[in-house]
């Protein structure tokens, strides 16, 4: 009956208007609900009018006990027609419900003893006429047990048709249900344990508040304070990943750390290991940095809830069943961790980045599929309210101060709002690239400032090369300089050559001590020997240098990148032109750790990171950091540092630290080395030099093509022989396409020192005829 009514409404869909279809759906829904209520009242109470009583009697004759199911199904079907309209496949649901209804009638009638199926008393009480016919056929064809098996198969088929799922997904669905049940149970147990621990700590605090006797030895109070102070670490290193099983413990620690004010550095110095020494200027540098501003957590939570709803609705509109399992809100970007249903392909969600940006009214949306270490897909959406990340938030953390390496630098905060910092000594070189005004220069200043704040000139020195003359010149008065700030290409060549000479000198020292790196060398020094310091070479625009002498700078950079790690010399190269003629393949092969800021295209992103993603960044310090030991780039909001803060730090360093000896770019040793190298190349004569000299004496002509034909050599070698003949004084300079003039006096051996040789044209020489 439901199927016939539905077909009568939908038969004329192609020719009916939208408004008329809406009216007919309303009429059908109201009719089904009304009819179902009337039949249900009449069947339950046993009294009714002529029409309803006749219908109930007919239903009892046909369906038996199934008569009470028919009006209930009609009521639910009417409600579905009124609410879901065309979004639901009513015809398919009607078929599956009819199949399940027939299975119910036959199953109910199989309980009757064999041979009594058609008796009136049993017929109206169990499955009616239809159930009796079904049970009789099943017993005749497959027997009692076989009939039960057939009905079970039809029941499973009807349930699968009604749910719309595949039969093969049923075991996976059951497994997922069990896993989710265990996760919920684990969360409940963790919450109970947390509440028990909190009550335990309250009891301990109340007991500690009671008056107790003063201990005889003062060392007991120091021991009691140690674990309390060391337990307040909130910084997260790049090399350490937080475990999912300790999520609640991390949240509890972070909440307790936020409720307390950060301890002063003077009180923390006693907690550092012996290898980590904080310089005296650190506290003053920390105080001159601007503090962080508080964020509005209530509005952020409301925005996150609204984002969850929009993400799930947008995916559902594309028929993708998925659920947002967790939301991680960072200072600039919020990541919604989406778990798709079994059978949903990952690329169906990754291809919807633009549609999600449209639905969320976002600047851009980046989809990370899957999130490393999790079985979820990350949808990263920019926040409507941006929280500024200050460098002071990272530098004042205990975990940052306790880092054993002096080359540890601050980066910013990740998607979850955790502070991020890295160690340059482990990289061991870093490449930074991005478009203009994307945050590249601020990132460089944060790296340099965070290293300067916790190191002395005897521990770290900087080699700053700034062809743009506007960024790194702020640091020209710091005592940590390896040489004065370089602002031209010629000075950059001298600085890199000087770094190579320092590297070679250190390798000779390592060979004398029998060690392999700078850490082993410094640990085996005698009392009268000075330890070696680390050298950080910073190049703020590689493109300007590559435009002037690409081959020379590529050779110098690759030599340092390949050999200088063990000697404590590290490279940080930045450029705003991420093209293949600037970031060449040789440079990329030797610099594995990279930072990419916002770029214009996927080609630029692949040039920097070898993967897509940087084209989806929103700028203003939004970066992708790919260290050498990470499988995928990590999205970080860079720490912000103003020019005034840099100037204040530089003034403090210039006042508190004594200036150290720097490497002079104009040293005679460097110039002599360059001259000797050039002279050595010119003094090495070609093996055909004497034969070529005899040949030009006979022919009285000298050109590269002539030597190439005569001696059957390549043009580059012939050109070098001609240049050597010119440097030796046997031929004159080149004059366009004309043949070179021969210096007759030199050929005859009568050139007097200091006297200019006579230039003789080939046409006027007597031997030419």
In angstroms, what is the C-alpha Rg of the chain?
42
Contact 108, 65 (CB under 8 A): yes
What's the pLDDT at 88? Answer: 53
Region 326-350: what's the mean pLDDT? 89
What's the pLDDT at 239? Answer: 39
What's the pLDDT at 22? Answer: 72
Does residue 664 surpass a pLDDT of 70?
no
Does residue 678 surpass a pLDDT of 60?
no
The pair of three-digit structure tokens given for residue 620, joined into one six-digit string: 């203003």
Least confident of 210-214, 322-326, 639-643: 210-214
Give the percent of the chain with pLDDT over 90. Answer: 23
Quickly state the pLDDT bin for 752 (edges 50, 70, 90): very low
Residue with tokens 């002498």: 549
- Using a 10 angstrom Cβ sphere, with 0-12 exposed, 13-18 middle and 19 or more buried, the burial of residue 56 is buried
Does residue 70 surpass a pLDDT of 50?
yes
pLDDT digits (tens, 9 = 90+) for 523-557: 988 878 889 999 999 999 899 999 888 888 999 99
Quickly state the pLDDT bin for 510 (edges 50, 70, 90): very high
3-class secondary structure, 484: coil
User: In 10 A of CB 524, how many CB atoms?
Assistant: 11
CA separation for the pair 393, 571 (Å, rounded): 26
CA separation for the pair 535, 194 (Å, rounded): 48
pLDDT digits (tens, 9 = 90+) for 416-438: 889 999 999 999 999 999 998 89
The pair of three-digit structure tokens given for residue 379, joined into one six-digit string: 């949808």
What's the pLDDT at 608? Answer: 93
What's the pLDDT at 624? Answer: 94
Quickly state the pLDDT bin for 89 (edges 50, 70, 90): low
CA separation for the pair 674, 500 (Å, rounded): 13
The pair of three-digit structure tokens given for residue 311, joined into one six-digit string: 């993400």
Does residue 651 surpass a pLDDT of 60?
yes
3-class secondary structure for 589-654? HHCCEEEECCCCCHHHHHHHHCCCCHHHCCCCCEEEEECCCCCCCEEEEECECCHHHHHHHHHHHH
What's the pLDDT at 665? Answer: 60
Quickly state the pLDDT bin for 762 (edges 50, 70, 90): very low
What's the pLDDT at 156? Answer: 81
What's the pLDDT at 249? Answer: 41
- Which pTM was predicted? 0.56
pLDDT digits (tens, 9 = 90+) for 189-208: 777 776 765 554 444 344 43
Does residue 169 surpass a pLDDT of 70?
no
CA angle, 269 then 275 then 276, to 5°: 40
CA separation for the pair 77, 210 (Å, rounded): 69
3-class secondary structure, 731: strand
Residue with tokens 């021969």: 742
Residue with tokens 């399940």: 100
What's the pLDDT at 299? Answer: 62
3-class secondary structure, 687: coil
Region 377-388: what's the mean pLDDT? 88
Q: What domains does the chain contain, in order, with CATH numbers?
A: 2-171 (no CATH), 297-382 (3.30.980.40), 415-659 (3.40.50.300), 675-768 (1.10.10.10)
Does residue 219 surpass a pLDDT of 70?
no
Residue with tokens 């004329």: 12
Contact 657, 281 (CB under 8 A): yes
What are 410's strand-pairing partners?
421
Region 36-46: what's the mean pLDDT? 78
Element at 742 (helix H, strand E): strand 742-743
What's the pLDDT at 360? Answer: 86
Does residue 451 surpass a pLDDT of 90?
yes
Give the percent of the chain with pLDDT over 70. Answer: 74
Quickly state the pLDDT bin for 749 (edges 50, 70, 90): very low
Mean model confidence pLDDT for the chain = 77
What are 534's strand-pairing partners?
460
CA separation for the pair 267, 109 (Å, rounded): 84
pLDDT digits (tens, 9 = 90+) for 269-288: 333 334 467 888 888 999 88
What's the pLDDT at 58? Answer: 80
What's the pLDDT at 223? Answer: 35
Per-residue CA distances from 226 to 218, 229, 272 (Å): 13, 5, 11
Quickly state the pLDDT bin for 462 (edges 50, 70, 90): very high
CA angle, 764 then 767 then 769, to 5°: 70
CA separation for the pair 757, 382 (Å, rounded): 76
């Amino acid at each position: 009956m439901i199927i016939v009514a539905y077909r009568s409404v939908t038969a004329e869909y192609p020719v009916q208007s939208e408004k008329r279809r809406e009216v007919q759906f309303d009429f059908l829904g109201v009719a089904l609900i009304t009819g179902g209520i009337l039949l249900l009242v009449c069947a339950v109470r046993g009294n009714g009018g002529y029409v309803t009583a006749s219908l109930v009697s007919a239903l009892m004759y046909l369906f038996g006990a199934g008569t009470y199911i028919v009006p209930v199904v009609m009521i639910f079907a009417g409600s579905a027609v009124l609410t879901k309209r065309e979004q639901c496949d009513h015809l398919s649901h009607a078929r599956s419900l009819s199949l399940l209804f027939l299975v119910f009638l036959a199953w109910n009638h199989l309980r009757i003893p064999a041979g009594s199926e058609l008796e009136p008393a049993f017929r109206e009480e169990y499955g009616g006429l239809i159930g009796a016919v079904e049970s009789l056929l099943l017993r005749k064809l497959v027997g009692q047990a076989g009939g039960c098996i057939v009905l079970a198969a039809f029941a499973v088929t009807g349930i699968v048709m009604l749910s719309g799922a595949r039969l093969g997904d049923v075991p996976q669905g059951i497994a997922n249900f069990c896993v989710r049940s265990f996760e919920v149970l684990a969360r409940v147990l963790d919450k109970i344990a947390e509440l028990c621990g909190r009550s335990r700590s309250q009891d301990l605090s109340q007991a500690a508040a009671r008056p107790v006797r003063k201990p005889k030895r003062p060392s007991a109070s120091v021991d009691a304070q140690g674990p309390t102070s060391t337990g307040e670490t909130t910084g997260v290193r790049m090399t350490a990943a937080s475990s999912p099983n300790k999520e609640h413990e991390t949240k509890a620690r972070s909440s307790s750390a936020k409720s307390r004010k950060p301890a002063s550095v003077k009180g923390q110095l006693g907690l550092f290991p012996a290898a980590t020494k904080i310089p005296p200027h650190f506290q003053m540098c920390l105080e001159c940095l601007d503090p962080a501003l508080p964020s509005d957590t209530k509005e952020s939570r409301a925005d996150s809830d609204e984002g969850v709803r929009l993400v799930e609705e947008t995916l559902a509109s594309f028929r993708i069943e998925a659920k947002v399992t967790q939301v991680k809100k960072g200072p600039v970007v919020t990541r919604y961790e989406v778990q798709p249903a079994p059978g949903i392909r990952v690329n169906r969600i990754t291809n919807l980045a633009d549609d999600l940006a449209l639905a969320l009214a976002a600047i851009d949306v980046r989809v990370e599929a899957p999130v490393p270490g999790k079985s979820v897909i990350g949808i990263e959406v920019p926040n409507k309210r941006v929280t500024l990340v200050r460098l002071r938030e990272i530098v004042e953390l205990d975990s940052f101060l306790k880092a054993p390496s002096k080359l540890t630098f601050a980066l910013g905060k990740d998607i979850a709002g955790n502070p991020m910092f890295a160690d340059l000594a482990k990289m061991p070189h870093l490449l930074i690239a991005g478009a203009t005004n994307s945050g590249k220069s601020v990132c460089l200043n944060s790296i340099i400032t965070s290293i300067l704040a916790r190191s002395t000139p005897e521990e770290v020195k900087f080699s700053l090369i700034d062809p743009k003359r506007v960024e790194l010149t702020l640091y020209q008065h710091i005592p940590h300089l390896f040489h004065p700030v370089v602002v031209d290409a010629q000075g950059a060549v001298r600085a890199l050559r000087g770094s190579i000479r320092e590297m070679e000198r250190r390798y000779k020292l390592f060979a004398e001590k029998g060690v392999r790196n700078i850490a082993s060398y410094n640990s085996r020094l005698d009392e009268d020997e000075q330890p070696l310091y680390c050298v950080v070479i910073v190049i703020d625009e590689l493109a300007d240098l590559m435009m002037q002498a690409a081959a020379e700078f590529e050779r110098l950079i690759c030599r340092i990148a390949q050999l200088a790690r063990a000697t404590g010399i590290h490279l940080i190269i930045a450029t705003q032109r991420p093209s293949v003629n600037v970031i060449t393949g040789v440079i990329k092969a030797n610099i594995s750790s990279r930072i990419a800021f916002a770029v214009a295209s996927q080609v630029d992103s692949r040039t920097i990171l070898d993967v897509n993603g940087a084209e989806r960044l929103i700028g203003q310090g939004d970066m992708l950091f790919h260290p050498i030991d990470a499988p995928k780039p990590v999205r970080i909001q860079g720490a912000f540092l103003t020019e005034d803060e840099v100037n204040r730090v530089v003034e403090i360093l210039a006042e508190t630290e004594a200036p150290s000896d720097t490497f002079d770019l104009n040293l005679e040793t460097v110039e002599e080395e360059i001259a000797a190298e050039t002279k050595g190349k010119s003094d090495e004569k070609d093996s055909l030099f004497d034969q070529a000299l005899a040949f030009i004496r006979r022919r009285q002509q000298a050109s590269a093509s002539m030597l190439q034909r005569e001696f059957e050599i390549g043009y580059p070698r012939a050109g070098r022989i001609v240049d050597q003949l010119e440097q030796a004084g046997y031929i004159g300079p080149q004059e366009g396409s004309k043949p070179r003039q021969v210096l007759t006096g030199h050929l005859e051996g009568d050139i007097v020192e200091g006297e200019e040789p006579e230039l003789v044209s080939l046409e006027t020489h007597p031997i030419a005829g």
